[in-house]
Amino acid sequence: MYVDVHTHLTHEAFAADQSAVIERAILAGVSAIVVNGLDPVSNRQVLAMAERFSAVKPALGIYPVDAVCGLLPTDFPLKVEVFDVDAEIDFIASNAQAGRLAAIGECGLDGHWLAADTFAEQERVFGRLIDVAQTYDLPLIIHTRKLEQRAIDILRERKVKKVNFHCFGGRTKLAQVCAESDGWYFSIPANATVNEAFRKMLTTLPVERILTETDAPYLPPRKGERNEPANVVGTIDILAHQRGWSHEQAAKQVWSNYQDLFGKRWSL
């Protein structure tokens, strides 16, 4: 059994064949596809998708860029809808309370797209989402870009236990320390085929802290392709090769890690 803990099947790249993509993943043995929301529209789509497919495990969140939608300059390079961020956090909390969510995410801090004048508001929104995760004992799926250390400081200060860093771009050494001493998880994307840092993480992180993800449609294993959840199987091949394990042994380890972080209910 395989798991993709971070994917965006609500993306328009899947509009025409979303069901076929999910069926292909299930056929490949991917039993859990954690679809992550980013904003009000995708959060509602994630919930609807989870109603239709039992393999889809819903995570609702607010992407750091969307978290500061009201503060962006008019020439901001990405298209971002303005919405009531606090009302959306309340919506996420009510779904968490109803027991509908496998995780909170994607959420976190971004210093690549966003300037320093947004950092305080980013941290306020991140803090509220951490509150929701802690109140309902859910894992947090974290995006950080350039602000890895700050995100780590906040999570430590708040004593957050259930954490997965998705597509971690900070130093491998830093990931190592967090995995070893904080007990946090790191999901490795399918582009570990071409990314040296991710292959290094597959080789050196504590085995019980490794998860697989795709971030589909982004980060494909081969340049130019559209990524999809079935591609986590290739990451298991790399993990097995790096560690000198059988494919089955690697798959079993990652599935057991997923069970540990997400709990029985989302891994049956």
**Binding region for Zn ion (CB under 5 A):** 106, 215
Q: How far is the CB of 107 from Zn ion (least distance, A)?
A: 10
In whole angstroms, give the CA distance from residue 21 to residue 14.
8
**Selection from 86, 84, 88, 125 nearest residue 107 by Cα:** 125
The rounded radius of gyration (Å) of the Cα atoms in the chain is: 17
Q: How far is the CB of 95 from Zn ion (least distance, A)?
A: 19
Q: How far is the CB of 116 from Zn ion (least distance, A)?
A: 23
The nearer residue to Zn ion, 7 or 253, going by C-beta atoms, is: 7
SS3 105: strand
The nearer residue to Zn ion, 3 or 240, going by C-beta atoms, is: 3
Quick one: how far is CA 48 from the chain centroid? 19
The nearer residue to Zn ion, 227 or 267, going by C-beta atoms, is: 227
SS3 content of the chain, % helix, strand, coil (to 5): 50, 15, 30
Residue 204, both tokens? 């050196």
Q: How far is the CB of 254 from Zn ion (least distance, A)?
A: 19
Q: How far is the CB of 101 from Zn ion (least distance, A)?
A: 16
The nearer residue to Zn ion, 6 or 162, going by C-beta atoms, is: 6
- Are the CB atoms for 167 and 141 separated by under 8 Å? no
**CB-neighbour burial class of residue 43 (10 A; exposed 0-12, middle 13-18, buried 19+):** buried
The nearer residue to Zn ion, 215 or 228, going by C-beta atoms, is: 215
The nearer residue to Zn ion, 166 or 253, going by C-beta atoms, is: 166
Residue 14, both tokens? 């899947």
Q: How far is the CB of 146 from Zn ion (least distance, A)?
A: 16
Pairing of strands 163-166, 103-110: unpaired
